[in-house]
Every structure is written in structure tokens, then in C-alpha cells.
């Protein structure tokens, strides 16, 4: 072999070696890594989730600067009716499984709902408990102005269950469309007592007092959440659901008094 041929062969081998070395040391492809989220979503959530979801939405936005979470709180039955009728929701979080079933039966759930929290009822009374309420049976007294949720609302359905468990008949002077409305009647002095969730009493602080009763265990409400089909920001909706159902969401919910699902 001539000197010229040897030189060309060595040069070729050197170039091939550099090419192979470069391929082996290249930065791995980002395929499969989480891309930056961007987009707005509207979350329809049960009224009892107002405090926790407000906190979670803010921390989710902070972790994902390209996103905006708009929150709409009301009774679960009203929310699912609005979604079925075409309201532009991206995520639905219900205070019970029955109203979630209405959504999925209408083929409006994008995937399987995930249970993320539980809650039970307690009796809310004004500070000092002027009516002297001690247990569930006291709510049947004719001198007690009781306020509860309407039966189609999860907290109302739970109230009916605990009453049946205790063998009593409750006769509220007012039936409200959300648990926050019940609490408002108590804090404003329009009611002597209201059946609300333990988390509502905890969130109200000194504005009310809570009276626990044994029959509450007969009506444990489970909270499911799911993205809504047709979302223009489906990736953000799914990420928010994952955030709520993950360890960060669980910590916020447990701190507010919600039980594990």
C-alpha cells in the first residue's frame, strides 16, 4: 500500500471514530419528558371543596406558569346538570359518586373518575350553641330552626341517610342548594343548627361550633374527579386531576379535614 493510501485510510477511520463517538455522547432525546403546559381550564367543583381547590389551583398555576385555572363552585347536582346541558367545563369534581355517575353515563368523562377524598357530616351551631344542641335527635325539637341541603345535593342525601340511621325525621325550615349556603344560614343567625361537612366547620373557624354525632359514620361521602370530554386544554385538565389526586393534593385535603378515599 502506498503512503497516500495509508494516509487516506487513517483519515477515514479517524472521521468515522469521531462520528461514532459523537453519537455516543449526544444529549438524550427529550422524548417522553414532560413538556411545559399551557392553556386555561375551568374546574367545576363541589362547594365543600372551595377552600382546598382555591389553594390547589394557585399552587398548580405557580408550578405551571403557562396555565390558568378558573374555579366554579356549587352543589354537585347543579354542576353536573350544567355540564350535561353544555357548560364549558374541563374538569368535574363531585362530592359524591352518584352525581359523577350522571356525568359518566352521559359519556362526558374523559377516562375513569378517580376517588380522592372522603367527608362526613357534623352539626354546625352558632358560637355558644344557644339552642343547646347535643346530638342528632335534638334537631327534631320544634323550637330548633334546622337548615340542611336539598335531598338531590350530596350533603342533603347524606342528611337523609344519617336521619334514617338514627331513626329520626328531620324537618328543616330551609333546604339549600349547597353546603356553603347551609353554613351561611348558621353564621348569619338565621338557623339554630345546620348539617354540614366536618371540613366546613373546620374552615369556618370561630364563626361556628361543630357537634359530632355517631350516626355520621353511616353516610361517608366519597369525592371523585375526572376531566370532561372535549376540553380544548385536555393536557392541562389531566395534569390538574393528577395534581389533585397526587401527594401534594392529598396533603392539602388532609390538612383541611378530608379523609382519604
- The CATH number of residue 109's host domain is 3.40.190.10
pLDDT band at residue 2 under the 50/70/90 scheme: very low
> Is 48 annotated for ligand binding?
yes
Higher-scoring residue by pLDDT: 86, 9: 86
Domain extent for 237: 39-118+222-260
Q: What is the pTM of this model?
A: 0.85
Please state the domain count of the chain: 2
Instruction: Indicate if 96 and 154 belong to the same structural domain.
Output: no
CA distances from 60 to 38, 113, 188, 236, 241 (A): 12, 20, 33, 10, 10
**Can you give the pLDDT at residue 25?**
34
CB–CB of 198/122 below 8 Å? yes
- CB contact at 8 A, 198 and 120: yes
Q: Are residues 111 and 147 in the same domain?
A: no
Residue 9 lies in a domain: no
pLDDT in tens, 135-168: 999 999 999 999 999 999 999 999 999 999 999 9
In angstroms, what CA-CA distances link 115 with 148, 150, 164, 209?
25, 23, 26, 29
pLDDT above 60 (res 20): no
Residue 197, annotated as binding a ligand: yes
Residue in the structure block whose three cell numbers are 335531598: 151
Structural domain includes residue 30: no
76 is in an annotated binding site: yes
Q: Is the dihedral of CA 89, 158, 139, 123 positive or negative?
A: negative
Quick one: 88 and 212 in the same domain? no
29 appears as a binding residue in the annotation: no
For residue 247, what is its C-alpha cell? 401527594
Summarize pLDDT for 55-88 with one digit per residue, the tens: 999 999 999 999 999 999 999 999 999 999 999 9
Amino acid at each position: 500500500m502506498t503512503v497516500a493510501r495509508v494516509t487516506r485510510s487513517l483519515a477515514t477511520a479517524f472521521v468515522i471514530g469521531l462520528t461514532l463517538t459523537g453519537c455516543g455522547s449526544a444529549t438524550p432525546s427529550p422524548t417522553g419528558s414532560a413538556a411545559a403546559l399551557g392553556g386555561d381550564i375551568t374546574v367545576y367543583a363541589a362547594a365543600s371543596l372551595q377552600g382546598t381547590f382555591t389553594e390547589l389551583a394557585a399552587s398548580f398555576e405557580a408550578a405551571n406558569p403557562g396555565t390558568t385555572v378558573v374555579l366554579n363552585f356549587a352543589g354537585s347536582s347543579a354542576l353536573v346538570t350544567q355540564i350535561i346541558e353544555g357548560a364549558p367545563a374541563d374538569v368535574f369534581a363531585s362530592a359524591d359518586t352518584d352525581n359523577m355517575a350522571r356525568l359518566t353515563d352521559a359519556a362526558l368523562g374523559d377516562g375513569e373518575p378517580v376517588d380522592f377524598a372522603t367527608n362526613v357530616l357534623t352539626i354546625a351551631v352558632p358560637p355558644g350553641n344557644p339552642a343547646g344542641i347535643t346530638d342528632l335527635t335534638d334537631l327534631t325539637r320544634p323550637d330548633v330552626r334546622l337548615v340542611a341541603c336539598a335531598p338531590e345535593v350530596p350533603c342533603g342525601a347524606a342528611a337523609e341517610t344519617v336521619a334514617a340511621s338514627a331513626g329520626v325525621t328531620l324537618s328543616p325550615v330551609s333546604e339549600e342548594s349547597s353546603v356553603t349556603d347551609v353554613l351561611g344560614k348558621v353564621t348569619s343567625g338565621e338557623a339554630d343548627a345546620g348539617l354540614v361537612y366536618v371540613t366546613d366547620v373546620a374552615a369556618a373557624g370561630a364563626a361556628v361550633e361543630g357537634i359530632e354525632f355517631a350516626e355520621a359514620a353511616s353516610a361517608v361521602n366519597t369525592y371523585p374527579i375526572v376531566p370532561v370530554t372535549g376540553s380544548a386544554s385536555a393536557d392541562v385538565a389531566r395534569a390538574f386531576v393528577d395534581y389533585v389526586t397526587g401527594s401534594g393534593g392529598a396533603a392539602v385535603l388532609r390538612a383541611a379535614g378530608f379523609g382519604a378515599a
